[in-house]
Structure 1
Amino acid sequence: MSEKNPLKINPEVNRRDFLRLSGLAGAGALLAACGGGSPADTTGSDAAAPAASSGDAAAPAVAEGLSDVARERTLILMWAGTDGQFTDVGLANGYATGSKNGHRAVVGSFEPLFYYSAFADEVIPWLATDAQYNDDFTELTVTIREGVEWSDGEPFTANDVAFTFQMLKDNEPFLRDSTIVRDWVESVEVADDLNLVIKFFEPRPRFLFDKLYGKFDTGIWWVPEHIFKDVDEVQGFGFYDLEKGWPVVTGPFNVVAWTPQQQVIDRRDDWWASKIGFAELPEIERIIVIPVAGEERMSQMMINNEIDSSLDLRATTISQVVAQNPAVITHTEREAPYGYIDWWPTSFWFNHAEGPYADANVRWAVSYTVDRQQMLDVALEGSGILTQLPFPYYAPLMPYIEATAPLLEQYNTNEHNLDKATERMTTAGYEKDGEGFWVKDGERAAASIHGFGIFNDIGPVLAEQLRRGGFEAEYVTPADSGTRMSDGTAKIWLNGHGGSIADPFDTLQMYHSRYFRPVGEPTQYNSRYQNPEYDALIDEMAARQPSPDDPAYMDLYLAAVEIYLRDLIDAPVQQWLHRIPMNTTYWTNWPTENNNYVNGAFWHETVGLIFNNLKAVG
C-alpha cells in the first residue's frame, strides 16, 4: 500500500547531469567522469588487488551455538567501526550515550511509521496506515496498523508512539530530535491502541514529512513503552541482553551475536508483517556486519566476493573495484559516476562559541584560502561536484538555489583568493609570524581539522592548503571525532548536512539558537551559532507551508540564506556522492538507476526496503 507524495524529489544524478554539474569543477572533472585517461596510482595495493574469485567464498565463522546458514542466504556488509573494531558493542539503544550508529546499531531491526523513498517519490505506510492534518496544521491524527508486534510478542500501539514523544521531551536536549519535539509538540493524546493526535503549539505543516517519515537519516526512532517505562536513564540504557530477548524490535531481523569483530543478525520468522500477510519474509536469513578496516581491505573483499555491500568507496577506488570484478555494480550500474548525489553536502563546520572561528572574518579567510578545484583534481581525480550552498542538488531545491544566484555573486563561497584571505585575517587582528603562520595575541590560528575516514581523500589536501596559507593546520580522525564535534571540543571540522531534501528549511534550521549549548555539552546540530534575527526568520518559515511559488516564503528563505552567507556559518566544499558497491554474486535486485525503488545506503532508515527486495541468486 502506498501513495504519492506531493513533493516531487529526484535526488539521483544521471550521467548527463553529472557531466553538466561537474562542469562547475572544470575540464578535469569531465575527463575523469567520462573515463578519459588512466587513474592515478593509489597508495596501498588496490591497483594490484586479486582478480575476482569464482563466487564460492564461504561465509565468515560466527559464534558457537548459532545455527548454520548457507552463504547463499547470508548477506555480508562492511560498515562502521573504528580501526577494524566495533566500539559500541552492546549499545542497541540508539539513544544511548556512545551509540555510534543510532537506529542502525542493529540494521534491519528498526521500522518507521511510514517509509519514504525519495528516488521513487513514494510514501509507503508501514507501522502506521494514515496521517491527516487538520485545516490549520495544528493537529496531526495518526492511525497505527493493526497487528504490528514487537519481537517479544507485545503489540506495537499508539501508546508506544506517545511514550516516545514524552521520553524525548523529558530528556531534552540529550536525545536526537528532542529539542524540536519539545519546541513544537504541545501534547500527544491517545484515543485508543490504534489512534493518536499530535497537537502542536503552532502550525507545523512539515512535521509529518520531517519526523514521521523514515528517509535517509531522518525520522523518530520508536521505543517499546513496556520496557522503557522502567528505565531511569535512557542515555545509560544499552538495551542488549540476549537472554531477555533484548533488543526488542519490530523489524524482521534481530541481533544474535555481537563482538568487536562482527555482528550477527538473524531473520525473525515470526515477524509481524509476515504473520498478518502484509509482507513476505525477506529471502535473507542472516546478516553479518563486519567493521571497516580501511579502504584497501574493503575493496579487496568486494573484489573477492567476500562481502556483498559496503560503506561508499572513494572516487579513486570504485572504478578499480568495478573493473576487477564483473559482479560488482553501483547505482549507475558499471558506468561513471558510479553513484548518486546524497543528501549530505560537505562543509567546513566551525565552532562559533569560542576560538578563532567565532569571528566571521576568520571563517571567510578559511574559505578564501582553500582551493576547492585543486582539491577535486588532486584528491578525487576531478570526479566530484563543488557546491556553493549547503543543499543537495535535488529537483525541489533547485528553484531556491537558482534564486540565490545574485547573493552568491556577492558572497562567492567557492572563491579561492589569498589576497582576500589576508584582508580578512588582518581585519580580525592577525599578522604573520616569521614562519608564515597567522598569529594573534601570541597564539597561532590553529586548524586541527577533525573528520572521519570517509574524508581521508580530501581532508589532507585541504589541511595542506590551509597550512600553506598560514593556518597551523592538520587533518585528524580520532575515534571520538563525533563527540568532539558535538560537545564543542573541536573548533573546525569536515562534515555533511543531513538536512534538506525538498525544502531549504531543514538545513537552515540547524543553525537556530535552540541548538546552542555551552562548550562541553553535546548538541544535535553543533555550529553553536546564535543570531536572534536569523532565529525569527526560521521560526516564520517553520509555520508556513513550504513552496518556491509562495513569494512570502521565498523572501524568508532569501533573507535567511543571506545571513548564512554573510556570516558564513559553515563553508560549503562539495556535493557528496554515494559510490556504493553492490555485489551480484549472491544477491540481486539491488537498487540502481534502472531499478530505482530506493537509494542504496543500507545504513539509512530505508534499509528495510532494500532487505525486503533483495533476491537470492541460488
Structure 2
Amino acid sequence: MDTRHSRESILRAGTVGGAAALAATFGGLDTGTVAAQSAIPDVPRNRTLQIIGGGGGGRFTDAGIGNPYAAGATHQIGNAAIWEGLFYYSAFGDEMIPWLATGYTYAEDFSSLTVNVRKGVKWGDGVAFTAKDVEFTFNLLMTNLKLSYGADMQKYLKSVSATDDLTVTFVFTSPNPRFLFEYLAFKFDNGVKLLPKHIFEGQDPTEFLWFDVAKGWPCGTGPYKIVLWNETQKFMDRRDDWWGKDVDLGGWSAAGSLPTAERIIFVPYSDDNRLAQLMASNEGDLGFTLLPQIIKPLVEQNKQIISHSFNRPPYGYIDWWPNSLWVNTELEPWNDPEIRWALSYALDRQQVIEVGYEGAGVPTEIPYPAYPALLPFFGSVKDLLQKYPTNKFDLGEVDKRMKAKGYAKDSAGFWAKGGKRIVIEILGFSIWATSGPILAEQLRKAGFESMYNQPPDWTNQAISGKFGGAWLFGHGASIADPYYTLYLYSSVNSKPQGNTSGGGGNQWSRWSNKDFDKIIEAMNNVPMGDPRLLELFHDAMAIWLKELPTIPVWQFYHWIPMNTLRWTNWPTVLNSYVNGAYWHTTFPLMLHKIKPIS
C-alpha cells in the first residue's frame, strides 16, 4: 500500500467523517460490505475516535468473529467496548468498580460466592440481562474444556445457579477467596465475558461466530456496536439506547450521559513508523504502544501528542508484564542456581535502559509490576534483596561462580568446560529489538558466547522444553495480590522435559520446588488484603530468590501516543484513572472519561 496515498486519503476521509471515503481508502470490500456501509451515517470528525492499531501487516486477523470464545476471537481490537464486566478493577487506583453487578458476599469459609446483578441492564438487542445469563455462561464454560477459562471453571466450580434474575451463586470445589477478582472483574486482558442465553442456547460455542451487522451481532451490554468490519477496517458506533445512560455509575458515567465518542474507527497496525506518521499528521487519536526511540521525537515534534507522562520520560506507564530473562531450568547448565545467578550478575540493567530505551524505564528486582497494591510486598523483601541482589552488576561475581563450577575461559574468552562452551542465543519479539542485542553483548563481555534473534517460531522453541538458550518474556499475573505470579512457578505448572509447557501462559522455566509449593498452597486460602500474605510472600520469595528460576530485568512500559487535538481527559500521570491501553478489557472506562475538545 502506498503510505503517502493512504495518509492523504485518511485525512480527507476523516475531515468529512464519511464511511464511504474511508472505505475507498482501504478498498478490498465485497459487495455486501459496500452495500452495508452505504447506509452508515456520517459522524463529525470531532466525535470520531480514530485508533491506529490491532492486527498485523495492515490486516485485522479477527474480522467477523463476534463470539468471544470462538477460535481467533480477541477483545483487543475494539470488542472490549462491546463487553462489560460484572466488575472492573483499575490497578492504578487500586479500585474495584461494580458495573453489571452491584455487590457480592463470600461465605465465611470462602466456599461460595453470591453476586448481586444490577437491575435494568440490557443486551444490545434490548433483551434484559439477568443472573440467568451469568449462570448460563459459567455452566457453558464448565462443560466445554476447549473454551477459554473452561478448564479453570471445571476445576474450581461445583455449581453456578441463579436463584432469581438478580442473584447468582457460585459454589466452589474448595475455598476460593480470589475467584471474583480473577474471573468476574475485568482488568488488563482478564475477565470472563458473559454471553446472552437467549442467543447462545443451543449453539455450538466453538463454531458459532455470532456476526451479522443486520441483526446487530455481536450485541453485548456495552455502549458500542459494530457497523462495519473486515480485514482492513472496523467501524463501531455508539448505541444511544445503552442501558447505562439512565444509571449513575459513580465517577465513571453519570445518569443521563453517554460516552462522547459517537464512532470508533480502527485502522490496522502495519509497523511503528506508519503508526507514528499517522499520529504525527493528526490522523490518529490513539495508537498502539511505540518504542521510546519513536515516541520521544513524536511528542517533541507534535505538541498535540502526549504520552502518559506527557512529553517527559518515561513516556508511558508500567504495564502488568515485568520482563525477565528466562531459561529452561531442567537443561544444563541452567539446572544449577549458581549458573543462573552468574547470568544475573552479568547484566547491567541500567545500561540497557539508558541505551536501549533512552532512559525510559526502570529495572525491577522482582517479577512484579510496581503497582500501588503491590508496593508493600516490594518493601517486605528488602532484607532478602540485600542477600540476593538481583539487580547487581558484578563481573567479579560472575567469575567467582563460574570458576567454582569448573568453568574456565577458552582462547576466545568464553566460558567452557570439557571443551564445550556455554552458548546463549537470546530470543524475543520486536519489542526487544533495542534491548535484546545489548543484553547479548553484555553476556559476551562477561564470557558467555551470546547473540540475539527474533525467529517467527521462537515461542514454540521456548515452550518445547528442548531449547537451551534464553528468551525475554513477561509475567502477566499479579497486579493487586502477589499470589498469581508465585502460582506461575508452582510445580503444577512445571511440565516434564519433552512436553510442551502451558503453565498459565508464562511458566516456561519448568522450575519446581516442593517447599515453595506448600507456601503457595497456604496463600491460596488467604484472602486478598489479609496481612498474613506479607509473611507468606516473604517465605516464598526467600526460596525464589535463592533459586532464581528466571532473571528479573526491567519493568515493562506502555509507550502509548494520545492526541489532544480533538480529545482530552486522557489517562495521564496527573489523572491515572486507568491504564491507557485500548486493547485491554478496561477500554470502556477510558471511553467514558475522554471528552471532545469542541
- TM bracket, shorter-chain basis: 0.7 to 0.9
Q: 1:351 touches 1:488 (CA, 8 Å); kept in 2?
A: yes
User: Relative to structure 1, is the Cα distance of residues 104 and 292 closer, same or farther in structure 2, using a 3 angstrom cutoff?
Assistant: closer
8 Å CA contact 2:144–2:150 kept in 1: the answer is yes
1:273-317 CA distance string (max 9 Å, x none) = 237786633221221222333332222221110101112232333
Is structure 2 residue 120 aligned with structure 1 residue 142? Answer: no
**Deviation by residue 1:462-519 (Cα, 9 ceiling, x = unmatched):** 2333355455544344556566656667663322222222321122122223334563
Determine what percentage of the aligned residue pairs are the same residue. 42
TM-superposition CA deviations, 1:244-289 (whole Å, max 9, x none) = 6443422122333333333322223333323778663322122122
Residues 1:106 and 2:88 aligned together: no
Letter in 2 for 1:265: M
Which deviates more, 331-340 or 314-323? 331-340
Residue-by-residue CA offset, 1:525-574 (whole Å, 9 max, x unaligned): 33243333222211101111344743xx3332112112221221221111
Any idea what SS the aligned residue of 1:509 has? helix
Residue identity matched to 2:44: A
Q: Is the 8 A contact 1:93 1:102 kept in 2?
A: no
Aligned to 1:3: none
Letter in 1 for 2:229: W
- Write the distance in 1 (CA, Å) between the matches of 2:523 and 2:293: 41
Which of 255, 274, 278 pairs up with 2:245? 274
What amino acid maps onto 2:579 in structure 1? N
Change (3 A) 1:368 1:403: same
Match of 2:307 in 1: 330
1:503 match:
481
Alpha-carbon spacing, 1:570–1:92, altered in 2? closer, same or farther (3 Å):
farther
1: CA distance between counterparts of 2:15 and 2:480?
43
Aligned residue in 2 for 1:531: 513
Instruction: Specify the code of the residue in structure 1 equivalent to 2:523.
Output: M
Give me the whole-angstrom Cα distance separating, in 2, the residues matched to 1:164 and 1:443.
55
2-side partners of 1:227 and 1:480: how far apart?
38
**2: distance between equivalents of 1:411 and 1:219?**
35
**Contact in 1 for aligned 2:54/2:76 (Cα 8 Å):** no
SS at match of 2:505: coil
Q: Distance in 2 between matches of 1:568 and 1:342?
A: 22
Contact 1:351 1:526 in 2 (8 A): no
Secondary structure at the aligned position of 2:437 is classed as helix
1:249 aligned to which of 207, 211, 220: 220
Instruction: Determine helix, strand or coil for the equivalent of 1:263.
Output: strand
Q: Which residue of 1 aligns with 2:5?
A: none
Q: Which residue of 1 aligns with 2:431?
A: 454
Q: Deviations over 1:149-201 (max 9, x none)?
A: 333444332233233333443444x6544454444333222212221111223
Note if contact 1:488-1:522 (Cα within 8 Å) is conserved in structure 2.
no
What's the secondary structure of 1:544's corresponding residue?
Answer: coil
Kindly indicate whether the alpha-carbon contact (under 8 Å) linking 1:392 and 1:501 is maintained by their aligned counterparts in 2.
Answer: yes
CA distance in 2, matches of 1:291, 1:422: 49
Q: 1:557 maps to what in 2? A: 537
The structural deviation recorded for 1:346 is 1.5
Aligned-partner residue type, residue 185 of structure 1: L
Structure 2 residue aligned with 1:613:
593
Structure 1 residues 332-371: aligned runs within 5 Å? 332-352=309-329, 357-371=334-348
The question of whether the paired residues in 1 share the 8 Å contact of 2:133 and 2:194 is answered with yes
> In the alignment, is residue 577 of structure 1 matched against residue 548 of structure 2?
no
Distance 1:597-1:400 versus aligned 2 partners, 3 A rule:
closer
In structure 2, the CA distance between the partners of 1:239 and 1:481, relative to structure 1 (3 Å rule), is farther
Please point out which of 61, 74, 80 is paired with 2:22. Answer: 61
Q: Point out where structure 1 has 5 or more consecutive residues left out of the alignment.
A: 1-49
Q: Does 1:73 align with 2:47?
A: yes
Which stretch has the larger CA shift, 485-494 or 184-193? 485-494
Per the alignment, do residues 112 and 56 of structure 1 end up closer, same or farther by CA in structure 2, a change over 3 Å counting? closer
Structure 1 range deviating more: 366-375 or 239-248? 239-248
Asked if the contact 2:430–2:454 (Cα under 8 Å) also holds between the matched residues in 1, the reply is yes
SS of the residue 1:150 aligns to: coil
2:251 counterpart residue number: none
Whole-angstrom CA distance in 2 between matches of 1:446 and 1:93: 45
Structure 1, residues 303-362: CA drift from partner, whole Å, max 9, x if none?
A: 110101112232333332222112122323344433333332211233445576455444
| Structure 1 residue corresponding to 2:230, chosen from 259, 263, 277 | 259
Per-residue CA deviations over 1:428-483 (Å, capped at 9, x if unaligned) read 78776665556679876554433333323222222333355455544344556566
- Contact 2:121 / 2:243 at 8 angstroms: preserved in 1? yes
C-alpha offsets along residues 395-444 of structure 1, whole Å, 9 cap, x if unaligned? 33222212212222222212233454456556778776665556679876
TM-score, structure 2 length as denominator? 0.83
Q: How far, CA to CA, are the matches of 1:485 and 1:105 in structure 2?
A: 30
> Structure 1 226/557 Cα, relative in aligned 2: closer, same or farther at 3 Å?
same
State whether residues 81 and 87 of structure 1, in contact with CA within 8 Å, keep that contact through their aligned partners in structure 2: yes
- Mark the runs of 5 or more structure 2 residues left unpaired by the alignment: 1-7, 24-28, 249-254
Tell me how large the CA RMSD over aligned residues is. Answer: 3.5
What secondary structure sits across from 2:476 in the alignment?
coil
Query: 295-304 vs 353-362, which deviates more?
Result: 353-362
269-278 vs 131-140, greater mean Cα deviation: 269-278
Whole-Å separation in 2 of the counterparts to 1:253 and 1:87: 20
CA contact (8 A) 2:75 2:583 kept: no
Return 425-434 or 81-90, whichever deviates more.
Answer: 425-434
Instruction: Show CA shifts across 1:114-144 (max 9, x none).
Output: 1223334443321112111222222211011
Quickly say closer, same or farther: Cα 1:589–1:124, change in 2 above 3 A.
same
1:171 and 1:486 map into 2 onto residues whose CA distance is 25
C-alpha separation in 1, matches of 2:299 and 2:305: 6
Q: Out of 134, 147, 155, which is 2:128 matched to?
A: 155
Distance 1:444 1:176 in 2: 42
Describe the SS at the equivalent of 1:297: helix
- Alignment-mate amino acid for residue 87 of structure 1: T
CA apart distance, 1:607 = 0.8
**Aligned counterparts of 2:370 and 2:229: Cα–Cα separation in 1:** 38
* Contact 1:515/1:526, CA 8 A, preserved across alignment: no
Q: 8 Å contact 1:93–1:103 — kept in the other structure?
A: no
Q: Distance in 2 between matches of 1:434 and 1:90?
A: 59
2:136 partner amino acid: F
Tell me, yes or no, if the aligned pair for 2:76 and 2:582 is still in contact at 8 Å.
no
